[in-house]
Structure 1
């Protein structure tokens, strides 16, 4: 921490008060306003929390201006091209990259937790046949608290760790089961002999009468996507998990709340919106017309998957995923589609058209991830589920970090009240 401070003047009596500046290892300092209302009678107003630091965290750092994303200090491009997803999961949970033995032990622990309680099948059968997989995922993850309620103590580090392992292991199984329920196929059990990504593909696409051997490129693409989506600082869903967890709520309920937040089209649903946009454009010949519509501020059409709220430079995740996206489109048998030709044409224009370059509206990770998932045979209604699967690692890492902080307090934002002033009740006969 630093000894620097800023001075504010009370609106009540004109007195001056010092507010300390808090600095981390990277990024801008933050004004500590925790005593502002008590000392000076002020609230702060920051819709969307665009300039508010809600916590201390040592997990992820983003520099939107420079296009930097670090997990525990490691650049995302190094991790995405050199590490496995479970290696990154270990890093996010435990602060350091694992040794070879630590990784083997961690993989074994996660593998042993992938099975679901058989009674959960009855719960899955209760969903309508065409229920959205995100609705199933949210409900079933929340229900895990009813299956693992032994010795619930969120202040016990061992309980927190086991809960984290269970979530990382079981969310892929639940996600695949949601897909199977949606298409009317039997749920496939996980296989302990397969790696994390390959096991998920097996549970998605194998059937009791037909085995499925995932292609290495498909597994590589999933590993990359899972790493890129593992965490992204204090986004809406992560903040939701932290806010729910601040009350001491069960970790499965907290992650279910995060899944609900992620479901929104402005958050995890963005890659679905990319595919909707491509279908709307329809053909490469229509691209110039839709580019003109995108440039017209009075036209409701928007190019989805371009630009980012945080990154004012090229999304560092998009640079990495672009190469794999092109590789998938070239080599996967299911990727020969006019839709992908259309996506590549849009990408070409966005990277070279002066309008997009000046405004830094580069293709982002959502643009490429939806294309890759579609090429792998994963349906559009599963895209946000895939996001949730990967982001579970970030959610439980933030939850564990917050719960181990002795200064943690329940979240309680304030407001600017804009309703009527105090008034008296009028009997109904006189209204």
Structure 2
């Protein structure tokens, strides 16, 4: 990272001397002003709630251009990866910076698939949770507990120790997600099978029972694999920033990833597709397709408090590039399962048509986003609504790990320590 020839000059109207600050240029995206010496030179902080104008790190992993509707993993457009690669190839790319050759891909897949089992005592750990606990609460605990079961290498300055932890997290997350689901419904845990693909193995652990053999449907496996790819990383979002902030203290990666899982649980973040399906179910309960016009009218009424979930995106100002891919997958799955006439899915497709044609939504660019379609796909696959965010966490784990690794190996990395604009009491005494 080298500064450009152009510098930023900050002047003050209170008579304080002006200061110059370096400007850095990325390969793409906005330039950034280096304010690291601002406080030392002026005694002033910047104020940026939500960090909307602040670059917290430099990164080579993921780039988003919200105005263009562009998402790149290591320079590859998400459209190329979702069509031409599987999830483990995408994992390798995010971790290593390049797509694997066929031989390297096989070795990487073998390595991951031979680390899918978790310590048998993890089953006893699960018994401490209530049966009706939300699966994300269970998953947060399970991921954090991995540090207690896999603490053979605590020196994360060692690249080999970090690599082992990364593989363990990618490999064992599907097993933990499936265990959290099986526990919630009272079914026996299904052990992984190393001869299945990563995604097929997860679906088997999720849906199989000892009563009968599980039959893999490749159309459905590919659909879920695409969900994993589209959610694998998304730049410095809330949960990724949480992982980086937690990891900056030097804590173990299992704890840092558990922090990311907890952050992802929020309805404004990873819970968006769960909220979308809840919206559809509420419309269905209140009259279904025949009442959708009344629902749309409430959405347009600013005073109604009714929100349209699964449409528009905070980052993508025109369209979500993942949504088109997920839409194709959505229709493939509905056709494969013969669910075109299912009332809930007909409702969803009606809502989609209105949003794509109604001038109110078109003018505001409130197009269906990836959460809208991924929620429908997961529901069609038989994944319960309260498991949606767990599936999201499974997919995002590789992105979190890649970001954690990049931070740990960054010569400029320091423990995170945001500052504040204090507006409370000044010093006072107890009388």
Instruction: Give the shorter-chain TM-score range.
Output: over 0.9
Q: Evaluate the alpha carbon distance shift between residue 251 and residue 12 of structure 1 in structure 2; reply closer, same or farther with a 3 A threshold.
A: farther
Hey, what does 2:353 align to over in structure 1?
A: 348
Hey, what does 1:86 align to over in structure 2?
A: 88
- Within 2, Cα distance between the matches of 1:377 and 1:14? 64
CA contact (8 A) 1:111 1:192 kept: yes
The answer to whether structure 1 residue 184 and structure 2 residue 208 are counterparts is no
The answer to whether structure 1 residue 205 and structure 2 residue 210 are counterparts is no
- Within 2, Cα distance between the matches of 1:65 and 1:422? 47
Aligned pair partner of 2:176 in 165, 171, 174: 174
- Within 2, Cα distance between the matches of 1:335 and 1:313? 28
Deviation at 1:214, TM superposition (A): 2.1
**With structure 1 as the length reference, what TM-score do the two structures score?**
0.97
- Within 2, Cα distance between the matches of 1:62 and 1:338? 36
In the TM superposition, what are the counterparts of 1:89-168 in structure 2 within 5 Å?
89-168=91-170
Aligned pair partner of 1:316 in 307, 313, 321: 321
Deviation at 1:335, TM superposition (A): 6.3
CA contact (8 A) 2:63 2:72 kept: yes
CA contact (8 A) 2:249 2:415 kept: yes
List runs of 5+ in structure 1 lacking aligned partners. 427-431
- Tell me the matched-pair count: 426
**With structure 2 as the length reference, what TM-score do the two structures score?**
0.97
Deviation at 1:339, TM superposition (A): 0.4
Aligned pair partner of 1:17 in 9, 16, 19: 19
Q: Evaluate the alpha carbon distance shift between residue 185 and residue 413 of structure 1 in structure 2; reply closer, same or farther with a 3 A threshold.
A: same
Deviation at 1:329, TM superposition (A): 1.2
**Alignment partner of 1:135: what SS?**
helix
**Alignment partner of 2:10: what SS?**
strand
Hey, what does 1:40 align to over in structure 2?
A: 42
CA contact (8 A) 2:187 2:209 kept: yes
Which digits, 9 at most, give the CA deviation of each residue in 1:57-76, with x for residues without a partner? 00000000010000000000
Hey, what does 1:292 align to over in structure 2?
A: 297
* Deviates most, 323-332 or 166-175: 323-332
Hey, what does 1:406 align to over in structure 2?
A: 411
Q: Evaluate the alpha carbon distance shift between residue 290 and residue 195 of structure 1 in structure 2; reply closer, same or farther with a 3 A threshold.
A: same
Deviation at 1:127, TM superposition (A): 1.0
CA contact (8 A) 1:12 1:40 kept: no
Q: Evaluate the alpha carbon distance shift between residue 197 and residue 117 of structure 1 in structure 2; reply closer, same or farther with a 3 A threshold.
A: same
**Alignment partner of 1:6: what SS?**
strand
Aligned pair partner of 1:29 in 28, 31, 56: 31
Deviation at 1:361, TM superposition (A): 0.3
- Within 2, Cα distance between the matches of 1:86 and 1:336? 34
CA contact (8 A) 2:242 2:259 kept: yes
**Alignment partner of 2:5: what SS?**
coil
Hey, what does 1:422 align to over in structure 2?
A: 427
Q: Evaluate the alpha carbon distance shift between residue 68 and residue 113 of structure 1 in structure 2; reply closer, same or farther with a 3 A threshold.
A: same
Deviation at 1:104, TM superposition (A): 0.5
Aligned pair partner of 2:384 in 348, 359, 379: 379
Moved over 4 A (4+): 10-13, 333-336
CA contact (8 A) 2:310 2:369 kept: yes
- Within 2, Cα distance between the matches of 1:260 and 1:151? 24
Hey, what does 1:429 align to over in structure 2?
A: none
The answer to whether structure 1 residue 364 and structure 2 residue 369 are counterparts is yes
CA contact (8 A) 2:339 2:345 kept: no
* Deviates most, 3-12 or 152-161: 3-12
Hey, what does 1:245 align to over in structure 2?
A: 247
CA contact (8 A) 1:110 1:166 kept: yes
- Within 2, Cα distance between the matches of 1:256 and 1:93? 19
CA contact (8 A) 1:12 1:41 kept: no
List runs of 5+ in structure 2 lacking aligned partners. none
- Within 2, Cα distance between the matches of 1:298 and 1:277? 18
Deviation at 1:11, TM superposition (A): 6.7
- Within 2, Cα distance between the matches of 1:206 and 1:14? 69
- Within 2, Cα distance between the matches of 1:300 and 1:120? 43
**Alignment partner of 2:258: what SS?**
helix
CA contact (8 A) 1:64 1:310 kept: yes
**Alignment partner of 1:5: what SS?**
strand
